[in-house]
Amino acid sequence: MYNFLFYFLIEVFGVLFMILSFGTVLIYFIIMILSALEMRDFRRKNRFADYQDIITSPIAPGVSIIAPAFNEAANIVQNAQSLLSLHYGKFEVIIVNDGSKDDTLQKLVDSFALVKTAFAYNPDIETQAVRGVYRSTNKSFRRLIVVDKENGGKADALNAGINVASMELLACIDVDCILANDSITRMVRPFMEETNRKVIAVGGVIGIANNCDVQDGTVTKYRIPESTLGRFQVIEYFRAFLMGRMAWSRVNGLMLISGAFGFFKKDLVKAVGGYFPKTVGEDIELVVRMRRYMEEKNQKYRVAFVPDPLCWTEVPEDESVLSRQRNRWMRGTIETLQLHRKIGLNPRYGFFGMVSFSFWTIYEKLAPILELMGVLYTLVLILIGDFSAVYFFALLTMIYLLSLLISVFSILYEQITYNNYKDKKDLRRLIWIILIEPFVLHPKVVLWGLRGHFDFIMGKGGWGKMIRTGFKTAEDKKNIQTQTGV
């Protein structure tokens, strides 16, 4: 009897893995084709784009840039300056000092001649206490607003910024990322262009600034990072932005807008109650909740994506930092999917619920677990000497080839659209990384993901109870006391 059960399980797993590998191959081919089509259309559209009068036009919407800062004293002044020098007509820069323990605030006050104002703070979205709102006495810094508040984490700081923001659009960014001068004009375009559907959010490409030359807020010379981990992330970012996001934006299925660089419609962010400070994945969670809101209100909407290179950031090249980052991403994903599990496979949420959500569940959340099981399964097959182990070896080889193909194509896409990495030596190095990635780096990523799962189960971070019950509707967040019981 046990014998029979064992073999039965082996059979079931065999079928499951076969379906999974077939699905993976199919899905990634579809993604590659969709992203190629999107790339083609984007290039065609850009031929006719004329950004010359968006800076001065009174029709262009105002933008509130919100940058939370926590212990950033070293670079905060320089970062604020580069934000203030962006080329756009109607915008304000809101820097939120999230209870820094260093002299971030003092540095800002000194450099920009700030004084504490009598600003009547309206906690439309609940946040930690705001200690003061600062503005400059110097006219040339009139765009700058500094909010000083008690520490509450990134999402909480962003919420405080949203409460203070006075413009129609929000640009939520990491204070230390490098923005191109024309980044606002480019990101605002999708909001201005669409008429049939409401554009609720726009995401951008994040480039890797490690080892590159930066001049006046733009990367002038591209070089790939020195370390293998850094180089690996270059390819990873190509894949994520030039393939993944491109393809999903074509079918309006984007679930994630990177927290380092995202634009949102303010009225909608407020309607859903802002960022949810109890999750470590506040960026993906907000987009999911906004989409859910639009679906629940039966309104046509779109989450757009701008593939122009506009934002660069330093990625961690240190293994322990990177592993913590990936662990956090995984927990954020699990928490978000958990909070909104009502959406999953629910036809009421259309394509978003049926396809995007399921894809994320299988290929982002469960991927490390499935991979681990796949490896164990193959090992078991080999141990019991089952002949079908050979087939599964064939499948594994195929998945390896698939990963090569995807990575090579993503580099090709980069060459066709940007052609930033001009040095042939750099390209050869990247190809080498592609070859070794599945053996050397990928297992680490899987491991970090598994640790994320483990930490989630152990209830590290996040807000256990709430996440277990989930949101009943997109607006549910507003009814929840997020500030108590910390």
Report the interface residues with other proteins, using CB under 8 A. Answer: 8, 11-12, 14-16, 18-23, 25-26, 29, 32-33, 44-45, 47-48, 50, 52-54, 57-61, 115, 117-122, 124, 135, 137, 166, 189, 191-196, 345, 354-355, 358, 362, 388, 391-392, 394-395, 398, 401-402, 405, 409, 412
Report, in Å, the least distance between residue 133 CB and other proteins. 9
3-state SS, residue 459: coil
Q: Cα separation of 376 and 103, whole Å? A: 52
Report, in Å, the least distance between residue 391 CB and other proteins. 4
Nearer to other proteins, 52 or 298 (CB): 52
Nearer to other proteins, 376 or 390 (CB): 390
Report, in Å, the least distance between residue 300 CB and other proteins. 12
Q: Cα separation of 71 and 74, whole Å? A: 8
Degrees, nearest 5: CA angle 202-206-209: 155
Q: Cα separation of 55 and 57, whole Å? A: 6
Report, in Å, the least distance between residue 227 CB and other proteins. 29
Q: Cα separation of 249 and 268, whole Å? A: 20
Nearer to other proteins, 182 or 476 (CB): 182
Report, in Å, the least distance between residue 29 CB and other proteins. 5
Work out the number of other CB atoms within 10 angstroms of the CB of residue 163.
Answer: 20
Residue 77, amino acid = V
Nearer to other proteins, 15 or 440 (CB): 15
Report, in Å, the least distance between residue 299 CB and other proteins. 15
Nearer to other proteins, 6 or 22 (CB): 22
Nearer to other proteins, 240 or 405 (CB): 405
Nearer to other proteins, 70 or 363 (CB): 363
Q: Cα separation of 115 and 353, whole Å? A: 48
Report, in Å, the least distance between residue 58 CB and other proteins. 5
Residue 131, amino acid = R
Q: Are 399 and 390 in contact (CB under 8 A)?
A: no
Nearer to other proteins, 19 or 440 (CB): 19
In angstroms, what CA-CA distances link 188 with 66, 166, 169, 183, 265? 15, 16, 8, 9, 10
For residue 463 the two structure tokens come to: 């807000």
3-state SS, residue 465: helix
Report, in Å, the least distance between residue 270 CB and other proteins. 11
Report, in Å, the least distance between residue 40 CB and other proteins. 10
Give the residue among 309, 292, 303 at the shortest CA–CA distance from 353. 292
- Backbone φ, ψ for residue 284 (5° rounding): -70, -35
Nearer to other proteins, 13 or 70 (CB): 13
Residue 341 half-sphere exposure toward CB, CA atoms < 13 A: 10
Q: Cα separation of 246 and 254, whole Å? A: 9
Q: 203 has which bridge partners?
A: 262, 305
